[in-house]
Structure 1
Amino acid sequence: MPTRPGPLECIERYFATAPLSEARIERAGALDVPIADPAWPYPARPRRDGDPVSAEDVRTAIALQQEAGLPAALEWISECSPEVAAVARTAGMTVEALPLLVADDPVDLVLPAGVRLFLVGADDPELPHYQQLAVLAFTHPGGPADVHEVPNDTSAEAAARTAVLRERIADGRTVMMVAIEDGTPVAVGSHQPIDVDGTEVSEIVGVATLPRLRGRGLGAGVASALAAHARETADMVFLAAGDDDVARVYERIGFAHVATAGIAELRPVG
């Protein structure tokens, strides 16, 4: 009887499968480099069961990404590819280590009074606003920002990102939720289900709260609702937390810390 894959194996398979329907995969030594629409890029990743990654592999991947107009980015699971952090730094990239957590025994959370949670439809006219709320939240990770500071990005790049997101929501590849208070979006988040060898796995991504409203349990409530929705059909739900403090919040709502996700980006010049 075949053994059930462990959580790290499931996550590795998830990331290997995620870009296949919308990207071609170039090889850079021991790295797979998805070449996709710049509006929805995928990072390079170590090939499953491949050789150790070298700094030359990373440089080759960066060149392929830059040639395709994609951000130079690399992601991996540290416990599966422990050599990558050092070689990424050698290739001139900045490296972060993020807690990787799996939904273990999620608890039901109640959002603050007056806050309602909605599934976002593909034709929702406010979708660009929800996306920009996330941009604001991740741009101001530690400081206050007024609700009126949510940017209104009318660039072609922003429009392209919204168009891709609408397609993904319509196809069920992205499930997005928004928390509304007094008619105003105050928190958002998504999960992205994928069939991995006949097993559904979903990653929770982009959980973001307006900076001035942090500390009210909005992000935890959205993440808990996303996990509950995903677990209706998925065998495993996981996420990468922004730091150890955020990871502890997720642990309080039923996630278990299982590993570390490595993320590398090219250092800006100057």
Structure 2
Amino acid sequence: MAVMLSRIETYYDAVPRSACRVEGFGPLSLFVREGDGWPYYARPALGHSGDVTVADVERVRERQRELGVPEAFEWVAETTPGLRAAVEKSGLVVHEHPLMVLEGEGVLPAPPEGVTVRMVGADDAVLPGAVAAPYAAFGAEPSPGAVAQVAARLTAGRTRLAAALDASGTALSAGQHQPVGAVSEVVGVGTVPEARRRGLGLAVTAALVADARAGGVETVFLSASDEGVARLYGRLGFRTVATALIAEAG
């Protein structure tokens, strides 16, 4: 398990670097977005094994306020066990999420009748709908540049996108995986409210898993929103190996 968590830790450090510069704060790294797009977060510096103090956390939060970005931290509880206390003492709220890794090839269920699940490319006509679907799952809309940003990542091979489409080609559910070498994380899976409880999110996740395996990815992982969702991912062969922590202002 230690090897697996080390592999994931290396991935977490690598994946933002294609779009960010990294500012070091002793035991912590702050990923600062270059250009437009969603803001990133702070996390433990790769390879740092020492303690993290409240003062360390406060230095990062002060810099985040200067930059006008969310005061957010992400890390794995089992890898950096001392960070939670420092983060909470600084006043941030910590949320727990099951960190799950796929065992074996996984289970690949057939999509519901009348639905097609497939990968979506940068020039695909359904790309805007596929980008919007996960936002709609949370009652939101993508930012004006979101489609172009995803298209650029697809073209560069940094993101792979799958969508569940109805007979008219409307995206009902979508999600991504982000390969870095032999590791990839499934992220942003969401289903529009009117199409929930049909297994579309699992079908999209299964398509992402199949695509990742076909691309030579050995380790596929994800963070579930809660234990109930983790049980659903368990149907595909994912197993909880640790706890992902996200800290933000209350």
- CA distance in 2: counterparts of 1:26 and 1:90, whole angstroms: 23
Structure 1: unaligned runs, 5 residues or longer:
140-150
Secondary structure of the residue aligned to 2:17 is coil
1:1-270 to structure 2, matched below 5 A, reads: 6-37=3-34, 38-50=36-48, 51-105=50-104, 106-139=106-139, 158-183=143-168, 184-195=170-181, 200-232=182-214, 233-267=216-250
Partner of 1:146: none
**Aligned equivalents of 1:235 and 1:47: distance in 2?**
24
Please tell me the residue identity of whatever aligns with 1:245.
Answer: G
Structure 2 vs 1, CA of residues 225 and 245 (structure 1 numbering), >3 Å: closer, same or farther? same
- Using the alignment, how far apart are the partners of 2:68 and 2:118 within structure 1? 35
Instruction: Give CA-to-partner distance per residue, 1:41-98, whole Å, 9 cap, x none.
Output: 3221111332222222222212222322322211000001112222222222121000
Asked whether the equivalents of residues 189 and 208 of structure 1 are also in contact (C-alpha less than 8 Å), the reply is: yes
1:5 Cα deviation from its structure 2 partner: 6.9
- Listed as ranges, the gaps of 5+ residues in structure 2 are none
State the secondary structure of the residue aligned to 1:6.
Answer: helix
Please report how far the alpha carbon of residue 134 of structure 1 lies from its aligned counterpart in structure 2 after TM superposition.
1.1
Query: Structure 1 pair 112/160, CA: closer, same or farther in 2 (3 Å)?
Result: same
SS in structure 2 of the partner of residue 177 of structure 1 = strand
TM-score (norm 2): 0.91
How many Å separate the matches in 2 of 1:194 and 1:5? 19
The alignment yields a C-alpha RMSD, in angstroms, of: 1.9
Across the two proteins, how many residue pairs are aligned to each other? 245
C-alpha distance in 1, partners of 2:148/2:64? 22
Superposed CA offset, 1:171-197 (max 9, x none):
1100001101132211001000012xx
